[in-house]
């Protein structure tokens, strides 16, 4: 069976554009029908199009990816996938923006192979570290915003009109609880959740 050239592209969300990756794969002469695109996070390899592509790969085929972080962002899993594709499947991988990462160059000497393996491990590590740093910066940003009083998530609905006045009348025993609930048109849980903010010094 004729050897095939496949291409894989990935963006993290449906809003992102994979055009730059597709152009790079087209320049490598990957047939349009052999290009697989996932619009999903690169944190692991549970990706529908990627897994479909891997099932098609056979010995002698070539898998082209624009950059190592498009393959994935988890250091251990990138190394494992690389081993699976090149050793078990017997296919080749070409990282287009990193010429050293091209397993077709089987005529390289031992030093060349060692450098290629080393570069792969370094780049995989950098990809994962960057992902972890992004998450860390996001968490720090959210924490800083909360300290400034900025709240995230859906905004709560405003309190019923006259809520504070009704709570104060209830605390002063001018009206009973059921009367207060009826005036405000709310239930016990909502009332007590917000009543604690009013009428207590």
CATH code where residue 104 lies: 3.40.50.1390
Residue 146 lies in a domain: no
Tell me what the pLDDT averaged over the chain comes to: 83
Residue 157 lies in a domain: no
Please give the structure tokens belonging to residue 152.
């995230």
Whole-model pTM over 0.75: no
Whether pLDDT at 22 is above 90: yes
The region of weakest confidence among 82-86, 91-95, 111-115, 165-169 is: 111-115
Whether pLDDT at 53 is above 90: yes
Give the tens place of pLDDT for each residue, 32-43: 999 999 998 877
Report phi then psi at 158, rounded to 5: -65, 155
Q: What is the pLDDT of residue 63?
A: 97
Residue 31 lies in a domain: yes
Residue 189 shares a structural domain with residue 99: no
Helices (H), the chain: 19-27, 48-56, 68-71, 75-83, 110-147, 163-171, 177-184, 188-195
Boundaries of domain holding 114: 5-133
Catalytic-residue membership of 124: no
Residue 116 lies in a domain: yes
């Amino acid at each position: 069976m004729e050897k095939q050239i496949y291409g894989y592209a990935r963006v993290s969300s449906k809003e992102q554009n994979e055009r730059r990756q597709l152009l790079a794969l087209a320049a490598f002469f990957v047939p349009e029908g052999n290009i697989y695109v996932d619009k999903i996070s690169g944190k692991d390899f549970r990706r529908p199009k990627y897994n479909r592509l891997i099932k098609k790969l056979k010995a002698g085929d070539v898998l082209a990816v624009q950059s190592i972080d498009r393959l994935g962002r988890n250091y251990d899993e990138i190394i494992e996938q690389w081993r699976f594709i090149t050793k078990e499947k017997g296919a080749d991988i070409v990282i287009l923006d990193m010429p050293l990462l091209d397993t077709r160059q089987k005529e390289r000497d031992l030093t060349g192979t060692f450098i290629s393996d080393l570069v792969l491990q370094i780049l995989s590590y950098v990809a994962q570290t960057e992902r972890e740093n992004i998450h860390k910066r996001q968490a720090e940003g959210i924490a800083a915003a909360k300290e400034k009083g900025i709240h995230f998530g859906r905004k709560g609905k405003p309190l019923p009109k006259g809520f504070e006045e009704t709570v104060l009348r209830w605390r002063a025993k001018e009206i009973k609880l059921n009367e207060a609930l009826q005036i405000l048109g709310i239930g016990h849980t909502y009332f007590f959740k917000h009543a604690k903010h009013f009428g207590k010094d």
